[in-house]
């Protein structure tokens, strides 16, 4: 691999803005290297036990069930195991992904009971199970071995499973892996051990084959919003490289449907285009629909599932828009407190997190959104500023929630019919000054002239990609630029293109789902303004070009 050079002042500035100041750390960050940056899978908690149990199951041809979460982390993790079993022509396995609405998140007792009745020998969880103490105990009592693979925080008690593979247990060097990455490491370790097994060596995949599964790890790492530092950066970087070479029929069909070319895939294409369509399956129908798209080896099925998921996602967008209209109608009738609680028994539970995110974006405060599902009140919450949602829910008066979980930025909860009416009051009583919002001023990495909006600058920026959590996409301030054209476009006329000029340089600047009034200063032709924006490549259509993606516009 040719080492990337990063001697430009701009790259140095971007690295330092991310607190990457040491020469060795800069080398590692700018030049991901698989053999150097990946930690041994054997360092993960209980990895030896988990691998030994799977090897034993393969030798005895035992019945294995892979039980995965229903989101864009768990589903790719299930595909990793499915690909592996199919590669070695192992037939005695099933993929089980719980229904978001009928079953909900986690390892369910009813499902485990059925697995026991079906005489399953081994159950492997993906992206869940670390808190399933009772379910694992029941399985053990009834002769069902469980290997838990998860990346969430453990509770006070760890399930008494055959093995628990979790980077947050033990002394694994990078505890922030996503669920699919943990699954991939387990499969990688099994393949390695197969080569040492007399009976399995003949069917073991070739050394290095597991790297082709990194496309699923890349999707999951970017979708699950884990920090893109350390090992996650390497997994996302190589995952994108594998995705750009993908031969997966479902992904190829999906990309074609969205008029996207695989060789130009970037991290935002995953998070804004592919991830929502994977998640639409569980939000609107069944998560197995997304699994089939990613795992299929049938051309006809790939096209059928593509049309299905795109349709589901379109329906999801309409439902979110409709629910937001109803939420806004409710919110505009009252003074808004520091923590917003809004809901309706008629809202669809699968989209509550999306609605909460939009409320936070619009009203700049934490939001708790609820609905009634299967006779129970359930909800999702998203944070704003410095509010730690898990701490806030933990501090609420006893009886506020039946259950709650999550982390600082996002969470889920359930409550009784009576308690939901007091939820806002109870949350406000627990909301302390320490939860006050952090500064929401829009920052930027550097001040640039408009003449720097070119491929040389863009290529420098991409040396720090992929961007995401803990490695935000660089933002730049352009001052004293003149607006010479404003154009609204799109089928629904909901996107804006602004042409700006500085000296002899003219640049197109875009903002999607925005109007002339969407910025700090409403824009019109003839104004001289300051603009904060990202520099990006437009790959739509045949001609590629560099443009700006607007973050905000305001008077100098």
Q: Which residues contact 548 (CB under 8 A, 6 or more apart)?
A: 453, 478, 500, 507, 508, 509, 510, 531, 533, 534, 535, 536
CB 187 within 8 A of CB 203: no
Examine the domain organization and report whether 390 and 467 are in the same domain. no
Same structural domain, 45 and 65: yes
Cα–Cα dist 329/327, whole Å:
5
Residues 405 and 469 in one domain: no
Of 411, 435, 459, which one is at a domain's C-terminal end?
435
Do 452 and 399 belong together in one domain?
A: no
**370 contacts 341 by C-beta, under 8 angstroms:** yes
Can you spell out the DSSP letters for 105-118?
Answer: SS--HHHHHHHHHT
Give the pLDDT of the chain (556 residues) as one tens digit per residue: 344 555 589 999 999 999 999 999 999 999 999 999 999 999 999 999 999 999 999 999 999 999 999 999 999 999 999 999 999 999 999 999 999 888 888 999 999 999 999 999 999 999 999 999 999 999 999 999 999 999 998 888 999 999 999 999 999 999 999 999 999 999 999 999 999 999 999 999 999 999 999 999 999 999 998 999 999 999 999 999 999 999 999 999 999 999 999 999 999 999 999 999 999 999 999 999 999 999 999 999 999 999 999 999 999 999 999 999 999 999 988 889 999 999 999 999 999 999 999 999 889 899 999 999 888 899 999 998 778 898 899 999 999 999 887 777 888 899 999 999 999 999 999 997 554 444 456 689 999 999 999 999 999 999 999 999 899 999 999 999 999 999 999 888 889 999 999 999 999 999 998 999 999 999 999 999 999 999 999 987 778 899 999 999 999 8
As to burial, measured by CB atoms within 10 angstroms (0-12 exposed, 13-18 middle, 19+ buried), residue 317 is middle
> Do 64 and 178 reside in the same domain of the chain?
yes
**Spacing of C-alpha 234 from chain mean position:** 16
> Distance between CA 251 and CA 255 in Å, rounded?
6
Give the CATH number of the domain where residue 74 resides: 3.90.1640.30
Residues 398 and 496 in one domain: no
Same domain, 428 and 464: no
Say how many domains are in the chain. 3
What CA–CA distance (Å, rounded) separates 280 from 282?
6
418 shares its domain with 477: no
Question: Which CATH number does the domain housing residue 381 bear?
Answer: 3.10.310.30
Last residue of one domain, picked from the residues 380, 407, 435: 435
Same-domain status, 95 and 209: yes
298 assigned to some structural domain:
no
> How many beta carbons lie within 10 A of that of residue 459, not counting itself?
14
Structural tokens at position 431: 């909301």
In a domain, 53, yes or no: yes
Question: What b/e readout covers 223-243, taking b as 16+ CB neighbours within 10 angstroms?
Answer: bbbbebbbbbbbbbbbbbebb
Answer yes or no: do 393 and 478 share one domain.
no
Residues 84 and 190 in one domain: yes
Where among 222, 255, 274 does a domain terminate? 222
Query: Domain residues for 431?
Result: 334-435
Q: In this structure, what token pair is assigned to residue 229? A: 């530092």
Identify whether residues 82 and 195 lie together within a single domain.
yes
**8-state DSSP, 544:** -
């Amino acid at each position: 691999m040719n080492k990337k050079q990063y001697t430009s002042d701009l790259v140095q500035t971007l690295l330092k803005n991310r607190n990457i100041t040491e020469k060795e750390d800069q080398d590692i960050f700018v030049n991901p290297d698989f053999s150097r940056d990946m930690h041994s899978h054997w360092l993960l908690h209980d990895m030896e036990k988990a691998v030994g149990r799977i090897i034993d199951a393969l030798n005895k041809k035992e019945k294995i069930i892979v039980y995965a979460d229903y989101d864009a982390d768990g589903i790719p993790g299930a595909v990793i195991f499915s690909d592996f079993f199919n590669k070695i022509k192992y037939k005695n396995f099933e993929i089980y992904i719980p229904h978001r609405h009928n079953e909900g998140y986690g390892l369910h007792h009813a499902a485990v009971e059925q697995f026991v009745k079906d005489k399953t020998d081994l159950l492997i969880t993906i992206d869940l199970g670390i808190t399933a103490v009772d379910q694992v105990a029941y399985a053990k009592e009834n002769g069902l071995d469980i290997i838990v693979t998860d990346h969430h925080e453990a509770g006070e008690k760890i399930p008494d499973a055959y093995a628990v593979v979790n980077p947050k247990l033990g002394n694994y060097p990078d505890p922030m892996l996503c669920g699919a990455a943990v699954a991939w490491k387990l499969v990688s370790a099994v393949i390695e051990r197969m080569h040492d097994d007399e009976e399995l060596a003949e069917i073991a995949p070739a050394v290095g084959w597991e790297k082709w599964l990194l496309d699923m790890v890349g999707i999951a790492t970017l979708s699950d919003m884990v920090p893109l530092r350390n090992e996650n950066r390497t997994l996302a970087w190589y995952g994108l490289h594998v995705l750009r070479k993908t031969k997966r029929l479902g992904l190829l069909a999906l990309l074609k449907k969205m008029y996207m070319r695989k060789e130009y895939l970037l991290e935002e294409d995953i998070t804004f285009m592919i991830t929502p369509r994977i998640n639409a399956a569980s939000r609107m129908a069944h998560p197995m629909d997304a699994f089939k798209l990613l795992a299929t080896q049938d051309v006809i099925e790939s096209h059928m599932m593509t049309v299905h998921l795109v349709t589901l996602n379109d329906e999801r967008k309409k439902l979110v828009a409709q629910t937001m209209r109803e939420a806004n109608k409710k919110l505009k009738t009252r003074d808004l407190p520091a923590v917003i609680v809004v809901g309706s028994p008629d809202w669809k539970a699968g989209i509550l997190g999306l609605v909460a995110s939009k409320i936070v974006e619009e009203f700049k405060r934490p939001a708790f959104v609820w609905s009634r599902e299967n006779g129970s009140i359930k909800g999702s919450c998203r944070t704003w500023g410095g509010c730690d949602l898990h701490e806030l829910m933990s501090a609420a008066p006893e009886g506020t929630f039946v259950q709650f979980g999550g982390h600082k930025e996002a969470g889920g909860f359930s409550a009784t019919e009576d308690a939901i009416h007091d939820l806002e009051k109870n949350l406000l009583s627990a909301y302390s000054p320490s939860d006050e919002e952090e500064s929401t001023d829009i920052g930027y990495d550097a001040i640039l002239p408009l003449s720097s909006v070119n491929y040389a600058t863009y290529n420098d920026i991409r040396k720090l990609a992929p961007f995401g959590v803990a490695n935000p996409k660089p933002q730049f301030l352009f001052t004293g630029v003149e607006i010479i054209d404003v154009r609204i476009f799109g089928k629904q006329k909901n996107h804006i293109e602004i042409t700006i000029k500085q000296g002899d340089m003219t640049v197109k600047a875009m903002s999607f789902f925005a109007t002339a009034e969407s910025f700090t200063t409403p824009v019109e032709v003839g104004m001289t303004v300051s603009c904060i924006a990202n520099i990006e490549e437009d790959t739509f259509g045949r001609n590629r070009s560099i443009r700006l993606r607007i973050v905000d516009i305001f008077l100098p």
